[in-house]
Amino acid sequence: EPEVTQTPSHQVTQMGQEVILRCVPISNHLYFYWYRQILGQKVEFLVSFYNNEISEKSEIFDDQFSVERPDGSNFTLKIRSTKLEDSAMYFCASRGGLSTEAFFGQGTRLTVV
């Protein structure tokens, strides 16, 4: 069964450092997403990406965040200068078309120390 894969599963970084979280969406999917889940809280939308550009972003997705699809398979989330409050699980998701389900990866646990 096709799945969304994310690497690394856990990333520890120093405050102020840059991190890149990587995702391989399901092939042939067209819509890509990053979500965040702070421990014990709900899953929050960060950004959607379609046709090689951001289609929507939330208030959380400020100038410290960027996304990229550098090749035909990877989809990355970069946090330029991490803050303690960026510590969370980050989930990548992809969707084949509109009005269909989004499939989520297993997440990357980011710990900022």
Partner 1 sequence: QQQVKQSPQSLIVQKGGISIINCAYENTAFDYFPWYQQFPGKGPALLIAIRPDVSEKKEGRFTISFNKSAKQFSLHIMDSQPGDSATYFCAASINTGGFKTIFGAGTRLFVKA
- Closer by beta carbon to partner 1, 13 or else 102: 102
Are the C-beta atoms of residues 4 and 25 closer than 8 Å to each other? yes
Cα–Cα separations (whole angstroms), residue 72 to 33, 44, 99: 15, 26, 23
- Residue 31 CB, shortest distance to partner 1, in Å, is 6
d(CA 87, CA 105): 18
Q: Is residue 44 a contact point for partner 1 (CB under 8 A)?
A: yes
- Closer by beta carbon to partner 1, 15 or else 95: 95
Pattern 63-102, binding to partner 1, x per CB under 8 A? ----------------------------x-x-x--xxxxx
Q: Is residue 33 a contact point for partner 1 (CB under 8 A)?
A: yes
**In sequence order, what are the residues at sequence separation of 6 or more whose Cβ sits closer than 8 angstroms to the Cβ of residue 43?**
35, 36, 37, 91
d(CA 90, CA 107): 5
Binding site for partner 1 (CB under 8 A): 4, 31, 33, 41-45, 47-50, 54-56, 91, 93, 95, 98-107, 109
